[in-house]
Amino acid sequence: MSGVPDARPPEPTEAERVRSVLSAARSLTVVSHGYRCDLVGAHRLDERGRLTLRLPADGHLAAAVAHAPHGDLAAMLQFTDVAPTAVRDRVRARVTLSGWLTGGGAEPGTNGVALRLDPVRVTLHTGGDVVFVGLDELVLAEPDPLADHEAGLLLHLTDDHPDAVARLTRLVEPHHLHGVRHVAPVALDRYGITLRLEHTGAHHDVRLPFTPALREATEFGDRVQGLLAAARACPRRRLRTRP
pLDDT tens-digit series, residues 194-225? 999 999 989 999 999 999 999 999 999 999 99
Q: Are 28 and 39 in contact (CB under 8 A)?
A: yes
Give the bridge partners for 44, in sequence order.
52
pLDDT at 31 over 60: yes
pLDDT tens-digit series, residues 121-150? 999 999 889 999 999 999 999 999 999 999
Range of the domain at 39: 14-140
Among 140, 166, 191, the domain-final residue is: 140
On whether residue 4 sits in a domain, the answer given is no
| Planar angle of CA 126, 181, 184, nearest 5 degrees | 50
Helix locations, the chain, DSSP H:
14-24, 60-66, 135-140, 150-160, 162-168, 174-177, 220-233
Do residues 23 and 107 share a domain? yes
Side chain identity, residue 48: R
On whether residue 7 sits in a domain, the answer given is no
Do residues 64 and 135 share a domain? yes
For the segment 22-47, the average pLDDT, to the nearest whole number, is 93
Q: Which positions ≥6 away from 90 have C-beta within 8 Å?
A: 82, 83
On whether residue 8 sits in a domain, the answer given is no
What is the number of structural domains in the chain? 2
Q: What was the pLDDT predicted at 1?
A: 40
How far is CA 182 from each of CA 163, 191, 243, rounded to the nearest angstrom?
13, 23, 9
